[in-house]
């Protein structure tokens, strides 16, 4: 692919309550660590349509010190809880437990208005997976563009039926 911009390694740590209350409400909580940065993300109200994923999202950059506290305790500070959207505050308890980790090697490409993110994903240090994320307001045009590239290079392209978090949970369930 042309338009290579950057490559980053991300560690994604996913959390839920002990009784999976967030999963039951279709809420995902993730702490993402990369370079010297950290982001806390909550996705909710997800929608899946023919390989396209959309969700409402609350995301905040956090200092590494706060990220380390959250990583090990799963505890939100009162300030963080207060800054979340009201519709998810009631579901996000002050203390969560880790449900799994992924490590993602992400190569980022800029092609015109499209941002293409080619991900090599490792789930719980065991299973590996590839995925191409396309950040765009015009997913059908982007899909046609990517399909043409794949066709020219004899690469099979298929819709991903599950998010990375769902694949982590599916892999974890197979182990138990």
C-alpha span between 84 and 74 (Å, rounded)? 16
**Coil/strand/helix, residue 126:** coil
Query: pLDDT tens digits, residue range 40-97?
Result: 999 999 988 777 788 899 998 988 888 888 888 887 776 777 778 777 777 776 678 9
What is residue 38's predicted lDDT score, i.e. its pLDDT?
A: 93
pLDDT score recorded for residue 90: 72
- Residues of the chain above pLDDT 90, percent: 32
Confidence grade of residue 4 (pLDDT, cut at 50, 70, 90): very high
Compute the distance between CA of residue 149 and CA of residue 58 in angstroms, rounded to an integer. 33
In the block, which residue shows the tokens 């209350």? 21
């Amino acid at each position: 692919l042309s338009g290579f911009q950057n490559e980053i390694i991300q560690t994604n740590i996913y959390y839920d309550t002990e009784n999976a209350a967030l999963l039951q409400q279709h809420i995902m909580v993730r702490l993402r660590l990369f370079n010297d940065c950290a982001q806390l993300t909550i996705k909710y109200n997800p929608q899946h349509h023919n390989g396209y994923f959309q969700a409402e999202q609350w995301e905040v950059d956090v200092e590494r010190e706060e990220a380390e506290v959250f990583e090990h305790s799963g505890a939100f500070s009162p300030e963080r809880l207060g800054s979340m959207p009201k519709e998810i505050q009631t579901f996000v308890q002050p203390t969560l437990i880790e449900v799994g980790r992924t490590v993602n090697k992400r190569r980022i490409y800029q092609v015109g208005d499209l941002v293409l993110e080619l991900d090599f994903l490792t789930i719980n240090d065991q299973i590996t997976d590839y995925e191409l994320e396309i950040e765009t307001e015009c997913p059908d045009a982007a899909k046609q563009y990517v399909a043409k590239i794949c066709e020219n290079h004899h690469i099979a392209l298929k819709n991903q039926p599950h998010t990375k978090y769902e694949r982590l949970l599916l892999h974890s369930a197979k182990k138990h």
